[in-house]
């Protein structure tokens, strides 16, 4: 009986890892799509989107975020994985999810994809030096 329990526990862990892996793949796909949208909108140089009225509004909303919330969004842009952001901040992934939900509400966006698009518009791409 003991080996069966271990197998079922491993199976449960395996299923959790599979779900987490699928979530990461989805988030990375959303980030890739958002980066493509930003590139298309900015026609490769970023100047159009950084000076648009929407970007100016988002910049003002971004400034209303707390320093901790700004840290979260910067880390999230670098790697959209709640677990990794939580590890870097020394907190739990659920806390990061809750904080990102609060950030979405403050910025007036309805999804993480919109959040990424707006943040890229305000902050630029994570690999930008500017």
Q: Which residues contact 77 (CB under 8 A, 6 or more apart)?
A: 116, 119, 120, 123, 126
Q: pLDDT by residue (tens digit) across 35-69? A: 666 655 544 444 444 445 566 777 788 888 899 99
Task: Tell me the backbone φ, ψ of residue 47, rounded to 5 degrees.
Answer: -70, -40
Q: pLDDT by residue (tens digit) across 19-33? A: 888 888 888 887 777
Token pair belonging to 120:
């890229």
Task: Tell me the backbone φ, ψ of residue 77, rounded to 5 degrees.
Answer: -65, -35
Residue 32: how many CB atoms within 10 A of its CB?
11
* Whole-number pLDDT of residue 59: 76
Q: pLDDT by residue (tens digit) across 83-130? A: 999 999 999 999 999 999 999 888 888 888 888 887 777 776 655 444
- The three-state secondary structure class of 81 is coil
The fold for domain 2-123 equals: Arc Repressor Mutant, subunit A (1.10.10)
- Do 85 and 79 form a contact (C-beta atoms < 8 A)? yes
Closest CA to 81 of 126, 122, 21: 21
Q: How far apart are CA 113 and CA 125, in angstroms?
A: 14
Q: Against a cut of 0.75, is the pTM above it?
A: no
């Amino acid at each position: 009986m003991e080996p069966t329990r271990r197998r079922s526990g491993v199976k449960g862990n395996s299923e959790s890892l599979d779900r987490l892996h699928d979530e990461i793949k989805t988030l990375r796909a959303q980030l890739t799509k958002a980066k493509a949208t930003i590139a298309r909108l900015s026609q490769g140089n970023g100047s159009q989107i950084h000076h648009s009225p929407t970007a100016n509004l988002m910049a003002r909303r971004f400034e209303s975020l707390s320093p901790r919330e700004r840290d979260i969004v910067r880390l999230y842009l670098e790697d959209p994985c709640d677990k990794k952001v939580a590890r870097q901040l020394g907190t739990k992934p659920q806390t990061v999810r809750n904080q990102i939900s609060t950030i979405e509400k403050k910025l007036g966006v309805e999804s993480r994809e919109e959040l990424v698009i707006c943040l890229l518009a305000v902050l630029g791409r994570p690999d930008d030096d500017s």
